[in-house]
């Protein structure tokens, strides 16, 4: 079956889902997140009526959803010629302020018994990204996007806001907990595959261990080791390195836990050929652009009910793998933040009507 045929089938099936049953099913989150209270805030329930319908928005049998950052080849198949604009959907939530928690999940071995590889240099580059992201170019672009809930309008703050309150420090944790038995079949990493439910279970374990809580001012970015794959569900219908390079989602809890699944950087499918590596670490640089994509989409559409186009694409999708001009580090980078260089995809600017490196 071709990609386009699969997409058409997916959209047909999605259209057949009853919105009433969707809202009821949202009361559980794969059995790993705490159940929503009986009197849930309206912004949670609005997800049932406002999921975008995009082939990049996945929904499993329990009606839990995520929005993926497609691989280079899959992006060409499903994003097409969408040129925006992003449209606000009434009652949808943004993340007005942002704390970034980086979790590097690196046990001793993969499920197949081979060593789990994730270098200290890889972790440092991505920790730097988390420390540098808030208050700089791409994040500043998001200040034009807002939410209106209960008659109160709030926009994204470009101010630096971190777990320390003021400053650019981000929380980072090296998680050495073992990977669970493979719950899915990723053709790119046979034998080493975790589902979204398994990822959530580990995330919630780490949060409990560290005393971290959820909310719409925090994102938990979970990085996994080289050759560890993932699929959104046990049916393996959408998997790392085939359909996606990363995705963002949220648990159905009150408050929600906003999180991103970040498989190890893979330049073969998650980077345009010939792009430079400003940190002399191609895997980390590929993961950096995926991470900035997910952070930005989480800021503007954390519950998948706020900002997206008429075709269901989010702020990062419209500029996927579009880097603009490399004006730093001898033309190796397009962003220079706090003395660190990055090659990060641009993000969509509604004011400019196109992709930009820095916002209004």
CA triple 135-136-138, angle to 5 deg: 115
35 within some domain: yes
Residue 149 structure tokens? 């809930």
Q: What share of the chain is helix, strand, coil (3-state, %, to 5)?
A: 30, 20, 50
346 within some domain: no
Residue 20 structure tokens? 């009433």
Closest CA to 222 of 244, 242, 241, 247: 247
- Say if CB 264 and CB 8 are below 8 A apart: no
353 within some domain: no
166 within some domain: yes
Residue 104 structure tokens? 């590097």
332 within some domain: no
339 within some domain: no
Q: Report how far Cα 165 is from the mean position of its chain's Cα atoms.
A: 23
Per residue of the chain (360 residues), give pLDDT as tens: 333 333 333 333 333 332 223 333 333 332 333 322 222 333 332 333 345 678 999 998 888 999 999 999 999 989 988 999 999 999 999 999 999 999 999 999 999 999 999 999 999 999 999 999 998 889 999 999 999 999 999 999 876 544 333 334 468 999 999 999 999 998 999 999 999 999 999 999 999 999 999 999 999 999 999 999 999 999 999 999 999 999 999 998 899 999 999 999 999 999 999 999 999 999 999 999 999 999 999 999 999 999 999 999 999 999 999 999 999 999 999 999 999 999 999 999 999 999 999 987
pTM, whole model, 2 decimals?
Answer: 0.85
Strand 258-262 and strand 218-224: the pairing is parallel
The helix/strand/coil state of 34 is coil
User: To 10 degrees, what angle do helices 282-300 and 120-133 make?
Assistant: 30
Closest CA to 183 of 290, 255, 111, 117: 111
Closest CA to 224 of 257, 259, 274: 259
What range defines the domain where residue 118 resides? 3-317
How far apart are the C-alpha atoms of 46 and 286, rounded to whole Å?
Answer: 34
How far apart are the C-alpha atoms of 123 and 132, rounded to whole Å?
Answer: 14
Q: How big is the chain, counted in residues?
A: 360
336 within some domain: no
DSSP 199: H
> What per-residue confidence (pLDDT) applies to 54?
85
In terms of phi and psi (left: phi > 0; alpha: psi -120 to 50; beta: otherwise), the region of 113 is left
Residue 110 structure tokens? 């993969």
> What per-residue confidence (pLDDT) applies to 15?
33
Q: Which residue in the block uniquely carries the two structure tokens 């060409």?
A: 76
- Say if CB 250 and CB 297 are below 8 A apart: no
349 within some domain: no
Strand 340-342 and strand 229-231: the pairing is unpaired
> Residue 161: which H helix or E strand, with range?
none
Total domains present in the chain: 1
Alpha-carbon Rg for the chain, nearest whole angstrom, is 19
């Amino acid at each position: 079956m071709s990609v386009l045929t699969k997409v058409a089938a997916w959209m047909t099936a999605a259209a057949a889902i009853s919105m009433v049953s969707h809202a009821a099913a949202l009361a559980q989150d794969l059995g790993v997140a705490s159940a929503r209270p009986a009197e849930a805030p309206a912004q949670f329930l609005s997800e049932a009526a406002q999921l975008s319908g995009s082939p990049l928005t996945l929904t499993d049998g329990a009606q839990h959803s995520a929005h993926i950052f497609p691989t280079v080849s899959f992006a060409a198949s499903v994003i097409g010629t969408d040129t925006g604009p992003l449209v606000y959907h009434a009652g949808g939530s943004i993340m007005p302020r942002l704390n970034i928690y980086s979790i590097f999940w690196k046990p001793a071995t993969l499920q197949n018994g081979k060593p789990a590889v994730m270098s200290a240099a890889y972790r440092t580059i991505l920790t730097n990204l988390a420390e540098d992201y808030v208050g700089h170019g791409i994040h500043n672009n998001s200040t034009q996007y807002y939410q209106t809930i209960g008659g109160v309008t709030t926009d994204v703050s470009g101010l630096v806001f971190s777990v320390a309150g003021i400053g650019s420090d981000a929380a980072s944790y090296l998680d050495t907990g073992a990977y669970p038995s493979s719950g899915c079949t990723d053709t790119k990493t046979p034998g080493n595959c975790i589902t979204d439910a398994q990822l959530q279970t580990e995330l919630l374990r780490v949060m409990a261990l560290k005393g971290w809580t959820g909310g719409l001012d925090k994102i938990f970015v979970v990085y996994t080791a080289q050759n560890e794959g993932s699929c959104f569900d046990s049916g393996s219908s959408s998997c790392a390195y085939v359909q996606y390079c990363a995705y963002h989602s949220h648990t159905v809890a009150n408050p929600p836990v906003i999180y991103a699944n970040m498989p190890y950087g893979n330049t073969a499918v998650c980077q345009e050929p010939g792009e430079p590596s400003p940190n002399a670490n191609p895997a980390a640089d590929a993961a950096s652009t995926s991470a900035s994509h997910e952070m930005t989409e989480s800021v503007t559409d954390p519950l998948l009910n706020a900002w997206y186009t008429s075709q269901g694409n989010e702020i990062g999708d419209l500029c996927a793998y579009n880097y603009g001009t490399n004006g730093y580090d001898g033309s190796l980078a397009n962003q220079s933040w706090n003395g660190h260089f990055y090659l990060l995809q641009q993000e969509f600017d509604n004011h400019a009507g196109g992709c930009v490196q820095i916002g209004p």
